[in-house]
Amino acid sequence: MRILTLASRNVRRNWHRSLVTMLAMAFACLIMIFFASLMEGMIQGSERSVVSMNMGDIQIHAHGYRDDPDLYTRIDNDTALVAAIEREGFRAAGRIYGYGLLAAKMASSGVHLRGIDLKQEVKVTELHRHVGSGQWLDESESKGVVLGKKLAGTLGVELGDELVFVGQSSDGYMANELFRVRGVLKSVSDGIDRMGMFMPMQTLRNLLVIPEGVHEIVIIRPDRTTDLSAETARVEALAEGLEVKNWKQLMPVIARMIETADVQIMIMLVIFYIAVATVVLNAMLMNVFERIHEFGIMKALGVSPWQLVALVFAETFILTLLASIVGLAGGWWVSDYYRIHGIDLSSMAESIAYGGIAFDPLWYAAITTEALVYPVLFLFIIAAVAVIYPAVKAAMLRPVKAIYFR
Q: Say how many C-beta atoms besides its own lie within 10 A of residue 365's C-beta.
A: 28
- DSSP structure class, residue 71: T
Q: What pLDDT sits at residue 114?
A: 93
**Per-residue confidence band for 389, with pLDDT thresholds at 50, 70 and 90:** confident
Q: How confident is the model at residue 343 (pLDDT cuts 50, 70, 90)?
A: confident
pLDDT band at 216 (very low <50, low <70, confident <90, very high): very high
For residue 169, what pLDDT band results from cuts at 50, 70 and 90? confident
Q: What is the pLDDT of residue 4?
A: 82
Cα 121 to the chain's mean position, in Å? 23
- If one compares 326 and 46, the residue with the highest pLDDT of the two is 326
Mean pLDDT within 359-384: 83
Give bridge partners of residue 196 from the DSSP assignment.
112
Cβ burial, residue 200 (10 Å; 0-12/13-18/19+): buried
What's the pLDDT at 218? 92
> Which range in 2-11, 24-33, 153-162, 298-307 is most confidently predicted, on average pLDDT?
153-162
Q: Which of 31-35, 294-298, 314-318, 398-402 has the lowest mean pLDDT?
A: 398-402
Q: What is the pLDDT of residues 286-296, one digit of tens each?
A: 777 777 777 78
Residue 348's pLDDT is 62
- Alpha helices (H) in 48-171, listed in sequence order: 78-87, 118-124, 149-155
Alpha carbon of residue 168 to chain centroid: 40
Cβ(224)–Cβ(43) under 8 Å?
no
Range list of β-strands (E), 186-251: 196-200, 216-220, 243-246
- Read off φ and ψ for residue 259, nearest 5 degrees: -65, -30
- List, for residues 173-196, the tens digit of each pLDDT value: 888 889 999 999 887 777 888 889
Residue type, 5: T
**Residues 70-85, mean pLDDT to the nearest whole number:** 89
Report the mean per-residue pLDDT for the chain. 84
| Per-residue model confidence (pLDDT) at position 199 | 93
88: helix, coil or strand?
coil
More confident call, 55 vs 329: 329
Q: Confirm if 92 and 217 have CB atoms less than 8 A apart.
A: yes
